Amino acid sequence: MEPKLVVLTGAGISAESGLRTFRDSDGLWEGYDVYEVASPQGWQKNPGVVLDFYNCRRRDVRAALPNDAHKGLARLEEHYNVCVITQNIDDLHERGGSSKVLHLHGEIFKMRSVNNEELIYDITEDIKLGDLAADGGQLRPHIVWFGEAVPMIEAAVQEVVDADIFVVIGTSLQVYPAANLLHYAPSHIPKYIIDKKVPDVNEFGNLTRIEMPATTGVLELLTLLTETK
């Protein structure tokens, strides 16, 4: 049986495809106060602004291309049973070739009813005020906003608990509950952290720091993980 390799990715892996994160710009996301466009309160206050914001993000993602980090993780499937857990709402892992991707914070190409978070539809174009789900509820982005539950976290925890190798790429480990996943990795397994600035993780053993951007860091990871295969 192939070893199980679990990867947690954050905004840093998609930044090299041109997708920015609000953490790069002092709480402003493409000129928006993030809590105005990524919280239930912001939605209640001005749903039109929220829809416009995510319509723009959807166009940005559609225009972006997977980079060598996304493609490199897909290549690891030749040697490992790979599960990618991502905090990102884009589909660049899928387009990069990864076959098992778990989205913690939702997906930009999905929308759902405000009345039923399980009534989900695919969407590639814009969502407009007045676009209704089958239950009559306004359609909203299928995104986990600040203050909302993260429904996929339990599945993610189980993946990490079962891992033979755990890799963290392009995340500051400051967004919870995703940041806690490192604590669930078995203490004896090898762990790798790839980031331009590796966060403080001194408490963890068996850990290799690769202080590089995601694209070059994943190339280094590929060398480390496949040279003995």
Rounded to an integer, the average pLDDT of 113-120 is 96
Name the phi and psi angles at 96, rounded to 5.
-80, -10
> Given this model, what pLDDT does residue 107 score?
97
> Given this model, what pLDDT does residue 173 score?
81
Catalytic residue among 93, 103, 105, 142: 105
Rounded to an integer, the average pLDDT of 23-41 is 73
The overall average pLDDT reported for the chain is: 92
Lowest mean pLDDT among 74-88, 147-161, 196-210: 196-210
Can the peptide bond before residue 40 be classed as cis, meaning omega within 30 degrees of 0? Answer: no
Q: Where are the domains of the chain?
A: 1-18+66-105+150-229, 20-63+110-143
Topology adopted by domain 20-63+110-143: SIR2/SIRT2 'Small Domain' (3.30.1600)
Task: Annotate 55-105 with DSSP letters as a single string.
Answer: HHHHHHHHH----HHHHHHHHGGGTSEEEEEES--S-HHHHHT-S-EEETT
Q: Is residue 187 predicted with pLDDT exceeding 60?
A: yes
> Given this model, what pLDDT does residue 201 score?
77
- Go through 186-215 and write b for each residue having 16 or more CB atoms within 10 A of its CB, e for each that does not: eeebbbbbbbeebeeeeeeeebeebebbbb
Looking at per-residue pLDDT, the higher value among 172 and 143 belongs to 143
Contact 55, 126 (CB under 8 A): yes
Q: Is residue 157 predicted with pLDDT exceeding 70?
A: yes
Rounded to an integer, the average pLDDT of 55-59 is 94
> Given this model, what pLDDT does residue 27 score?
47
pLDDT in tens, 92-104: 999 999 999 999 9
Superfamily for 1-18+66-105+150-229?
Answer: TPP-binding domain (3.40.50.1220)
Rounded to an integer, the average pLDDT of 8-26 is 81
- Concerning whether 70 is annotated as a catalytic residue, the answer is no
Pairwise CA distance, residues 37 & 46, whole Å: 9
Q: Identify the CA nearest to 169 among candidates 38, 23, 69, 40.
A: 69
Q: Is residue 9 predicted with pLDDT exceeding 70?
A: yes
Pairwise CA distance, residues 63 & 40, whole Å: 28
Q: Identify the CA nearest to 212 among candidates 56, 72, 51, 44.
A: 72
- Dihedral sign, CA of 125, 130, 135, 140? positive
- Dihedral sign, CA of 182, 200, 202, 67? positive
Neighbour count for residue 159 (Cβ, 10 Å): 21
Q: Identify the CA nearest to 10 among candidates 104, 73, 99.
A: 104
